[in-house]
Amino acid sequence: ARKLRIVSGDEKQYFTLGEGNLRVNERLDRESICEAVSPCVLSLEAVVENPFNIFHVSVTIQDINDNAPRFDREFVAIEIIESAPPGTRFPLGSGRDPDIGLNSLQNYQLTPNPFFSLVVRESPDGTKQPELVLEKSLDREKQRNHHLILTAVDGGDPIRSGTAQIKINVTD
Q: Are strands 15-18 and 21-24 parallel, antiparallel or unpaired?
A: antiparallel
Burial class, 52, CB count within 10 angstroms (exposed 0-12 / middle 13-18 / buried 19+): exposed
Shared domain check, 144 and 126: yes
Q: How far apart are CA 136 and CA 84, in angstroms?
A: 9
**Contact indicator for 145, 56 with CB cutoff of 8 Å:** no
Given 17, 39, 61, the domain boundary residue is 61
Q: What is the pTM of this model?
A: 0.86
Domain that holds residue 83: 70-171
Per-residue pLDDT at 19: 81
The stretch 78-92 carries a mean pLDDT of: 98
Give 26-48 pLDDT, tens digit per residue: 999 999 999 989 999 999 998 88
Question: Could you tell me which residue, 11 or 143, shows the higher pLDDT?
Answer: 143
Per-residue pLDDT at 81: 98
CATH number at residue 13: 2.60.40.60
CA separation (Å) from 33 to 22, 23, 57, 122, 135? 19, 17, 17, 27, 44
Shared domain check, 57 and 77: no
As for how many domains the chain has, the answer is 2
Per-residue pLDDT at 1: 66
